[in-house]
């Protein structure tokens, strides 16, 4: 395996925590993500369902996890169904997990082949009164493809119409939002790989290079240092392109006098880093670029102090808006007239949130209304976007909340203007 696995005790604890939140006689069922087709006989790379991974550690397609804490047979209180190897798969793809290997990864003793699901699960469903399932309920989710979970929900509704049903998503979000030490360690590895890629890209930036050349250098260093690849589509946006928040074409030429906004992160063991830095193509920031950069840095440093337990993201966004308004006034982007009676005037130049949760998903799940607690990991990413000047600046680090405040997991990645310019001068 390319990445260092987490010990099975982590997944055992996660399942135990979920079991305490399930109503009596509830059976919880998790399906792996499908492998999505491209064209002809092509397929996209497999990405495991985050909830299934969180409770099992299994990183293989066609996996099903069944948790039934009140099952009459103790052996059936935790069951894994996995894909067996065949002569075809061994020849074309290599061996799949054995039952022994699946137990070693997950700590689950009862493992069946996935083809045995119907035979094993029917009596368990009849023994239960509630079926708990986990379709994707992320606020930004799009629903263009039918998943194995969707198909299973339909099947259950038809065959077990008198059962009660419940949503697993709120329980999963409640558990996953607090990161355990093992998760922080995986995130640190993803961040270290991201740092290596950033340093390589910074030293390679020059006038005339293509955005995708920098992207290639970044992705090379992801793979070189043990990542399976980018956590999300990398943004390498030079000049005016930096004003497109999710710019991923990465096909323009980097030109002297412009800035390059790079928003990227490595994935490691299903955990994701999320970094943004801005570099001057010439190696030096112009006076105006410095002004704007320093304003974003001021917002960053001020809000970072507010990343503490007891706050909410809503409060942090409100505070960020107030500070951003002050900076926009100093920069001449807004006038007192603009902000009079309009507290959201700053959103013309800073239109996204101050941060989001981070973990197994880049925009990680969390309870809808919640107060920040120790163990939560969030991004901190203020920005200013000025299309009329061809400048877009965003600075982003990953922050873990602690009992006494926070720890910046990216603190060692250069951020100050002088540090950026010094690296580029090497």
Joined together, the tokens standing for residue 242 give 């930096």
Per-residue pLDDT, 391:
98
- Please report where in the chains the tokens 């982003």 appear, as a residue: 396
Beta partners for residue 112, in sequence order: 81
Reduced to 3 states (helix: H, G, I; strand: E, B; else coil), residue 129 is: coil
Joined together, the tokens standing for residue 413 give 């990645």
Catalytic residue among 54, 247, 268, 385: 385
Catalytic residue among 127, 352, 370, 408: 352
Catalytic residue among 61, 213, 258, 396: 396
Joined together, the tokens standing for residue 169 give 């998503």
Backbone torsions φ then ψ of 280, nearest 5 degrees: -85, 130
DSSP for 5-42, please give it. PPPHHHHHHHHHHHHHHSPTTEEEEEEPPPPPB-STT-
What CATH number does the domain located at 181-425 have?
A: 3.90.230.10
Catalytic residue among 213, 274, 361, 364: 274
Catalytic residue among 44, 203, 246, 288: 246
Q: Which 3-state string (H, E, C) describes 130-191? A: EEEECCCCCCCCCCCCCCHHHHHHHHHHHHCCCCEEEECHHHHHHHHCCCCHHHHHHHHHHH
Catalytic residue among 183, 263, 267, 327: 263
396 assigned to active site: yes
pLDDT tens, position by position, for the chain (426 residues)? 789 999 999 999 999 999 999 999 999 999 999 888 889 889 989 999 999 999 999 999 999 999 999 999 999 999 999 999 999 889 998 999 999 999 999 999 999 999 999 999 999 999 999 999 998 877 777 766 788 899 999 999 999 999 999 999 999 999 999 999 999 999 999 999 999 999 999 999 999 999 999 999 999 999 999 999 999 999 999 999 999 999 999 999 999 999 999 999 999 999 999 999 999 999 999 999 999 999 999 999 999 999 999 999 999 999 999 999 999 999 999 999 999 999 999 999 999 999 999 999 999 999 988 999 999 999 999 999 999 999 999 999 999 999 999 999 999 999 999 999 999 998
Residue 347 and residue 384: Cα distance in Å, rounded? Answer: 9
Catalytic residue among 138, 206, 363, 370: 363
Q: What architecture is the 8-176 domain classified under in CATH?
A: 3-Layer(aba) Sandwich (3.40)
Question: Which of 116, 162, 351, 172 has the alpha carbon at shortest distance from 245?
Answer: 351
Which pTM value belongs to this model?
A: 0.95
Delimit the domains of the chain by residue range: 8-176, 181-425
394 assigned to active site: yes
Catalytic residue among 41, 118, 369, 426: 41
Residue 21 and residue 172: Cα distance in Å, rounded? Answer: 10
Catalytic residue among 77, 221, 277, 356: 356
Joined together, the tokens standing for residue 421 give 């310019």
Catalytic residue among 31, 221, 277, 394: 394
CA distance readout (Å), 63 to 34, 81, 102, 204, 289: 10, 6, 10, 42, 51
Q: Environment class of residue 211 by beta-carbon count within 10 Å: exposed (0-12), middle (13-18) or buried (19+)?
A: buried
Reduced to 3 states (helix: H, G, I; strand: E, B; else coil), residue 390 is: coil
352 assigned to active site: yes
Task: Find all residues with CB under 8 Å of 357, minimum gap 6, and list them.
Answer: 177, 363, 364, 365, 366, 376, 377, 378
385 assigned to active site: yes
263 assigned to active site: yes
């Amino acid at each position: 395996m390319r990445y260092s696995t987490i010990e099975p005790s982590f997944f055992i604890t996660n399942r135990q925590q979920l079991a305490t939140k399930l109503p009596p006689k509830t059976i919880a069922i998790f399906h792996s993500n499908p492998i999505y087709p491209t064209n002809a006989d092509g397929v996209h790379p497999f990405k495991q369902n985050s909830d299934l991974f969180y409770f099992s550690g299994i990183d293989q397609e066609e996996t099903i996890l069944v948790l039934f804490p009140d099952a009459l047979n103790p052996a059936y209180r935790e069951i894994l169904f996995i894909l067996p190897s065949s002569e075809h798969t061994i020849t074309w793809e290599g061996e799949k997990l054995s039952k022994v290997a699946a137990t070693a990864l997950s700590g689950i003793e009862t493992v069946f082949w996935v083809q045995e699901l119907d035979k094993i699960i029917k009596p368990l469903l009849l023994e239960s009164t509630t079926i708990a399932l986990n379709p994707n309920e992320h606020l930004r989710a799009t629903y263009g493809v039918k998943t194995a979970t969707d198909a299973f929900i339909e099947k259950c509704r038809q065959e077990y119409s008198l059962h009660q049903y419940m949503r697993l998503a709120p329980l999963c979000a409640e558990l996953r939002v607090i990161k355990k030490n093992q998760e922080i360690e995986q995130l640190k590895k993803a961040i270290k790989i991201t740092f290596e890629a950033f340093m390589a890209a910074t030293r390679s930036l020059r006038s005339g290079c293509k955005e995708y050349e920098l992207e290639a250098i970044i992705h090379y260093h992801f793979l070189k240092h043990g990542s399976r690849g980018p956590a999300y589509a990398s943004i390498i946006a030079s000049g005016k392109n930096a004003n497109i928040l999710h710019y991923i074409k990465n096909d323009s030429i980097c030109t002297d006098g412009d800035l390059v906004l790079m928003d990227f992160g490595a994935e490691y063991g299903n955990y994701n880093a999320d970094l943004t830095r801005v570099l001057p193509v010439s190696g030096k920031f112009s006076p105006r670029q410095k002004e704007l950069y320093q304003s974003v840095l001021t917002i960053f440093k001020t809000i970072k102090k507010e990343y503490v337990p007891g706050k909410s993201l809503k409060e942090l966004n409100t505070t960020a808006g107030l500070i951003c308004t002050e900076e926009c006034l100093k920069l001449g982007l807004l006038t007192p007239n603009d902000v009079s009676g309009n507290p959201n005037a700053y959103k013309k130049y800073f239109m996204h949130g101050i941060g989001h949760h981070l973990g197994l998903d880049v925009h990680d799940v969390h309870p809808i209304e919640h107060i920040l607690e120790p163990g939560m990991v969030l991004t901190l990413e203020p920005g200013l976007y000025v299309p009329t000047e061809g400048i877009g600046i965003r600075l982003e680090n990953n922050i873990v909340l602690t009992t006494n405040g926070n720890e910046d997991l990216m603190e060692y990645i250069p951020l100050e203007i002088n540090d950026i310019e010094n690296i580029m001068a090497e």
